[in-house]
Structure 1
Amino acid sequence: MQAALRDRRAQLALLLLPGVGYLVVFFGGPLASALIGSLQLNGGTFTLQWYERIFTRATMLRGLKTSIYYGVAPVIVSLAVSIPLALLIRQNFRGRKLFNGLYKLPMAVPGIIVALMVIIMAERGGFIDRVIAPFGLSLPKLVRDEWGIGVILATVWKQIPFMTLIITSAFAGIPEDIRHAARSLGASRLNTFVFVEVPLAMPGITAAILLTFIGSMGSYAVPDIVGSPSPRPLSVLMVSEFNDGKFAQVYAMGMVLSLFAIAVLLAYYALTAKIGVNRAKGDE
């Protein structure tokens, strides 16, 4: 019995080895190297001064806050659009297949091109401004503004298709019998959606939030092109420090962004685990 158990454990280890090995080599290795580099001076002496600079220097502290802002704000806007869009895609209507293909087009456009599109369309004196000018209207400052509206617009345009795909799959995985049961018990369409469908789709929704948050928080091209000259997000400051040859500082800034991403990932796992426990209790 014990020999069979050992054999099963050995087989399980062999099955997991390719995936775990890939993560260790291509994720854990660079992360460990960056961590070691962020804790050293040029002579190899241990130091925390690179992290101290991030949390004490006004420029870097504002950059960290801006990175978090550029991560959170687009996700909120994208989520507000993606959920209704996912519900629309579930419906049968004329031109559904064409629409289902067109809304995914932003996924194929590089971020730098999206930033240039925002400049052409939303800059003062740009395309939209010239179109509405004969009506006595003009656009507010949307590009390189202090609230990062241009960054949010560009990021949302890129995020919505990706987020919608994940959320659509999450809703599609809910059995129709559950919806019909809720309606037959007297729940309205709105109550069925809010209290039945959304909780069941929550793992997919939180996964979409997680992935888009991490991507937008670490984005470089869009904030660099259409973002405000000050404050600059940490990702843009990292490139500036890299060009100055301050590699240890770059490692520390990357580790801080990674820690925020890992914290969000752990929160996602905690939330989905709680949802699973609550669902199991409900089934009992």
Structure 2
Amino acid sequence: MNQRALGPILVAPALAMVVLFFVYPLAYSLISAFWSPEGWGWANFIKAYELYRNDIVFTVLIIALSTALVGVFSIAIGGYLVLGENPRSVAILKWLYRWPLFIPFVVAGQVMRTFLAKNGMLNNTLVGLELIEPVSAVSLLDWRGIVITFVWKQTPFVALLVAGAMASLDRSMIEAARNLGASRLRILLEIIVPQVRASLTVGLTLSFVTMMSVLSVPLMINAQTPTTITVNMAFRINSYGDYGVANALGVISILLTSGVAWLYLRQASKDKSRAIA
């Protein structure tokens, strides 16, 4: 058989899967987002904005806050793994921080439901340690619970990227800063973090996109309003069969994530231009 013909034959099954499960649903969603019984137009987007504008703002704020906290904790974990002076603590942290990587979001949501409830493990522990009174126990099953779950779930992923990038740095600069009396915090923030900014940005961008698409966590933890876009999409489909508004919300989600991706690509392009210059 001709080798030129063999290549497309080998690629065809994978390409068919991509078209069937990714390209076709995306195209269908985009088309139905702009189609309503009145015809082509912005009717679905107008309805989505009127009904769920507060939820859209809530989603952006929740995901942005979660992403920022993921970045802070990832830098802290990676910095301690690189600069920590207690081998036992470093070994325990290396073994412990990766656990959430292997837990699906739906399981994480269920775990946090029992952990953050008013009579959950967190409050029972605080009461047992006499840090709070039983009457002072409050439920965190609201926007705080969503943030806690997202941060707990995504921090190991970003920390793994950041810690690997930090470990590959030239140790001579770190040792020179230590010899000059710089504190570990200053070394971390002024020497290490600027050099691993690319890995940190990649991890945070992927985390933002991932958290934007999660349905199980806000659905299981936050029974209040406002809620996230993914819950609104599921509600429109399951309760009303309204795929138009649901897909309009999906397009809004795509635009939000695309905006974050564009900012990342723009920054990466600037960094590359500076490196070449």
Q: TM-score range by the shorter chain?
A: 0.7 to 0.9
> C-alpha distance in 2, partners of 1:112/1:218?
13
User: Which residue identity lines up with residue 255 of structure 1 in the other structure?
Assistant: V
What is the CA RMSD across the aligned residues, in angstroms? 3.0
Asked if residue 46 in structure 1 is aligned to residue 40 in structure 2, the reply is yes
Q: Could you tell me the TM-score, scaled by structure 2's length?
A: 0.82
Deviations 1:116-137 (A, max 9, x none): 2222122112223233336352
> C-alpha distance in 2, partners of 1:97/1:184?
22
Q: Which residue of 2 aligns with 1:209?
A: 204
| 2:74/2:159 contact within 8 Å kept | yes
> C-alpha distance in 2, partners of 1:97/1:188?
25
Asked if residue 72 in structure 1 is aligned to residue 64 in structure 2, the reply is yes
Name stretches of at least 5 consecutive residues in structure 2 with no aligned partner: none
Asked if residue 120 in structure 1 is aligned to residue 88 in structure 2, the reply is no
Residue 32 to residue 185, structure 1, CA distance change in 2 (3 Å): farther
Residue 29 to residue 238, structure 1, CA distance change in 2 (3 Å): same
Count of residue correspondences = 260
Q: Which residue of 1 aligns with 2:254?
A: 258
User: Which residue identity lines up with residue 270 of structure 1 in the other structure?
Assistant: R
Asked if residue 36 in structure 1 is aligned to residue 41 in structure 2, the reply is no
Residue 209 to residue 129, structure 1, CA distance change in 2 (3 Å): same
- The 3-state SS of whatever aligns with 1:61 is helix
> C-alpha distance in 2, partners of 1:52/1:23?
34
Pairing partner for 2:151 from 135, 152, 156: 156
> C-alpha distance in 1, partners of 2:161/2:272?
19
> C-alpha distance in 2, partners of 1:143/1:37?
34
- The 3-state SS of whatever aligns with 2:139 is coil
| 1:115/1:226 contact within 8 Å kept | yes
Asked if residue 130 in structure 1 is aligned to residue 124 in structure 2, the reply is yes
Deviations 1:41-65 (A, max 9, x none): 258x31210111122x1x3111111
Equivalent residues in 2 for 1:132-147, closer than 5 Å: 132-133=126-127, 135=130, 136-137=132-133, 138-144=136-142
More moved, 100-109 vs 252-261: 100-109
Asked if residue 165 in structure 1 is aligned to residue 160 in structure 2, the reply is yes
> C-alpha distance in 1, partners of 2:215/2:150?
11
Name stretches of at least 5 consecutive residues in structure 1 with no aligned partner: 1-9
